[in-house]
Amino acid sequence: MNPGRPANRETELDKLQGTPLYHQLKNILQERIRQGVWKSNEQLPTEDEICQQFRVSKATVRQALRDLANAGLVRREQGRGTFVADTKIRFGPRILNSFTEEMRETGVQAGSRVLEKKVVPAPDEVAGKLQVPVGTELFLLTRLRLAGGEPMGLQTVYVPTELAPGLMDIDFEVTSLYETLQGRYGLMLEHASQLHFATVANDAQAALLEILPGAALLAGERLTVIRGGRPLELTYSAMRGDRYQIQLKLVRPR
Domain positions in the chain are 9-84, 89-246
Q: What is the pLDDT of residue 35?
A: 79
How far is Cα 133 from Cα 123, in angstroms, rounded to an integer?
9
How far is Cα 165 from Cα 169, in angstroms, rounded to an integer?
9
From edge to edge, which strands make up the β-sheet containing 231-240? 110-121, 137-147, 150-160, 231-240, 216-226, 189-200
On whether the 9-84 domain is CATH 1.10.1040.50, my answer is: no
Global pTM?
0.62
Alpha carbons within 13 A on the beta-carbon side of 205:
21
Q: What is the pLDDT of residue 85?
A: 79
Which regions of the chain are under pLDDT 50?
1-9, 90-96
- Going through the chain in order, the beta strands assigned E by DSSP cover 74-77, 81-84, 89-91, 110-121, 137-147, 150-160, 189-200, 216-226, 231-240, 244-246
Which of 203, 97, 222 lies closest to 157, judged by CA? Answer: 222
Q: What is the pLDDT of residue 229?
A: 87
**CATH classification for the domain delimited by 89-246, as one of 3.40.50.261, 3.30.499.10, 3.40.1410.10, 3.40.50.10860:** 3.40.1410.10
- 10 Å CB burial of residue 203 (0-12, 13-18, 19+) is exposed
Which of 154, 243, 245, 157 lies closest to 204, judged by CA? Answer: 154
Q: Strand 150-160 to strand 189-200: parallel, antiparallel, or no bridges (unpaired)? A: unpaired
Q: What is the pLDDT of residue 46?
A: 93
**Which are the contacts of 57, defined by CB distance < 8 A and separation ≥ 6?**
51
Q: What is the pLDDT of residue 241?
A: 85
